[in-house]
Amino acid sequence: MAKLLLKLQRYFRRKPVRFFTLLALYLAAGSLVFLHSGFSGEPTVPGSPRSPAAAEGPGLPYLGVMQLSHGFKAAATMPAGARRHSPWFKSTSKEPLERGKSRDNGGPRSRALRGRSGREKEEDRARYIGCYEDNTRQRTLRGMSFFDYKKMTVFRCQDNCAERGYLYAGLEFGAECYCGHKIQASNASESECNMECKGERSNTCGGINRLSVYRLELAQESARRYGSAIFRGCFRRPENVSIALPASQLMLNMSVDKCVDFCTEKEFPLAALAGTTCRCGFPSTLFPLHEREDEQLCAHRCAAEEFESCGSAEFLLVYQTQVQDNRCMDRRFLPSRAKQLVALASFPGAGNTWARHLIELATGFYTGSYYFDGSLYNKGFKGERDHWRSGRTICIKTHESGQKEIESFDSAILLIRNPYKALMAEFNRKYGGHIGFAAHAHWKGKEWPEFVANYAPWWATHTLDWLRYGKKVLVVHFEDLKRDLFVQLQRMVALLGVPACEDRLLCVEGQKDGNFKRSGLRKLEYDPYTPEMRKAISGYIRTVDAALKLRNLSGVPEDYFPR
């Protein structure tokens, strides 16, 4: 062995370049191994498991959350020292291709039965209303259309029509998709819609000059559209209507399109149909759009369109046009360094990016981040590039949950979301980007069970840590923010120490979605949670609920519990 080492020493003395080359390769390989171990893993609850004694904090006893984290048989864990920031690095793995289309050799009767069962599964996002006649010269649905003679499916047609704001989606000839706001033809016999979809033989996609028509049931009322206009609802006429809605025009042949086009041309974000009068304006304290009336009070037929409602003199049917309300669009960095660091803390998938969008619109100041996400910077979050301690931003996004990190902030807005929704949102983000979706192969593969096993306990400990170590914590539930945005945003802005301008907050309501919302219709066709997962997550929910109530807070919303 000594002779061998001596020979190697003499060899490298004669050829030092080769020695340094081998040394450089060795160091590079070691660096790659280190980086891979730091960023490729799936972290469990950040930090090391704590004993009951160590976990106690002021006014908040240990509630046994870590004991619940062993509820999954297939739990894949990591060492306690695993890097906490790894979940926010986007996965670079390509989505596996979905293969293996099912073969169907059954007759028309079996296909029809399967088609009906498929429609029942679709009911949460669309409702099948029947088979209708169609004509190439006068289409039944006269909106957008597209064809795919290889991969057309019912879901694909519905999703494309819904994304463009249409109320109806119709499929014809097994491969053609038509969208529209009204059906302008008569019913046909169900037996005439007898062609299977090119992309899924288990469903029916119309027939020859026959449409299988679906009414799209959008997830949120505010998402209902008429072409480019968003439906806001039926409202009682304001007292000072000429001041609240300053532009108006008499239209004897009134229709939704005509009123929306008129207000768009006048550059107003609201179009209000009042029988034969079209009124335009902004949301304001005189017309805040907070007290909606029953839509039947506005159900008066338009003079020019028998299938449309145009409201009345007393009850206005309101749409939001494509004109941007610029009263809340200006944003800048703080004029002087902030004296306090305010965290916008949440578990991943709880709506932090959306909350940042709302806060920036409401205050006029950029928000910062504990991390750096180039895609968010490119979408307009200019504070993303600043160091989180720079003091130039109104608050700091963070998903951290360690004691040291939490105590770095002077106060915090703690955003909590239903764990079932938060876990699915973060899984979609991890494998599909901020507004994308994970592939079915990821949901059906090992990725989803491992993800739930690692992240579900963290959902609970994240909230408990912020309640335990946070200095001044304002708890906001994502569901409450969606349901009552104006009131919840007022609370958040008050903590940030910025005067809340009511007109600016009303402007935010009209711009609330931004570019950070996934399609309301793109849902899984099955429940991804196993009974074992639901049992463990229910335990986490009860633990967080008890912790909130110990702080004299209201606890989690009721809709966390049905599972």
Q: Write down the residue that tokens 């599972």 correspond to.
A: 563
H helical segments located in 419-561: 419-432, 440-444, 447-469, 478-483, 485-496, 502-510, 531-550
3-state DSSP call for residue 264?
helix
- Helix %, strand %, coil % of the chain (to 5): 40, 15, 45
What is the model's pLDDT at position 375?
A: 82
Q: Which CATH number fits domain 342-560: 3.10.129.10, 3.40.50.360, 3.40.50.300, 3.60.150.10?
A: 3.40.50.300
Q: Where are the beta strands (DSSP E) in 186-337?
A: 210-216, 225-226, 229-236, 247-250, 270-274, 277-281, 315-320
Q: Read off φ and ψ for residue 486, nearest 5 degrees.
A: -60, -50
For residue 73, the tally of other CB atoms under 10 A from its CB is 8
**H-helix or E-strand spanning residue 168:** strand 168-172
Q: Could you give the CA distance from residue 404 to residue 546 in angstroms, rounded to a whole number? A: 24
Q: Are strands 368-369 and 396-398 parallel, antiparallel or unpaired?
A: parallel
25: phi then psi, degrees, rounded to nearest 5: -65, -40
Q: What are 56's two structure tokens?
A: 């106690």
Among 511, 537, 357, residue whose Cα is nearest residue 455: 537
CB 543 within 8 A of CB 464: yes
Long-range contact set of residues 124-128: C-beta below 8 Å, sequence gap at least 24: 124/217, 124/523, 125/158, 125/162, 125/216, 125/217, 125/219, 125/520, 125/521, 125/523, 126/158, 126/162, 126/169, 126/214, 126/215, 126/216, 126/217, 126/521, 127/214, 127/215, 127/217, 128/212, 128/213, 128/214
Coil, strand or helix at 386: coil
Domain ranges of the chain: 126-219, 227-320, 342-560
Q: Which two tokens stand for residue 14?
A: 């004669």
3-state class (DSSP) for residue 246: coil
Tokens representing residue 143 in the block:
């909106």
* pLDDT computed for residue 196 by the predictor: 93
For 405, the 3-state DSSP assignment is: helix
Q: What is the pLDDT along the chain (563 residues), one digit of tens a residue?
A: 666 666 766 666 666 666 677 777 777 766 655 444 443 333 334 433 333 333 333 333 334 333 333 334 333 333 333 333 323 333 333 333 333 333 343 443 344 444 444 444 444 568 899 999 998 888 898 877 888 888 899 988 988 887 766 778 999 999 999 988 778 889 999 999 999 999 888 899 999 999 999 998 753 443 566 667 888 889 999 999 999 999 999 999 899 989 999 999 999 999 999 999 999 999 999 999 988 898 889 988 888 877 788 999 999 999 999 888 888 888 999 999 998 999 999 999 999 999 999 999 999 999 999 998 888 888 889 999 999 999 999 999 999 988 999 999 999 999 999 999 999 989 988 888 766 788 888 898 999 999 999 999 999 999 999 999 999 999 999 999 988 899 999 999 999 998 878 888 989 988 787 655 555 545 666 789 999 999 999 999 999 999 999 999 989 998 887 54
Q: Using alpha carbons only, give the angle 261, 305, 207 rounded to the nearest 5 degrees.
A: 105
Q: What's the CA gap between 138 and 133, in Å, rounded?
A: 10
C-alpha distances out from residue 235 to 243, 296, 300, 313, 513, Å: 16, 11, 14, 11, 22
Q: Does residue 476 contact residue 415 with C-beta atoms inside 8 Å?
A: yes
Rounded to 5 degrees, what are φ and ψ at 415? Answer: -95, 120
The secondary element (H helix, E strand) that includes residue 369 is strand 368-369
Encoded amino acid at 562, one letter: P
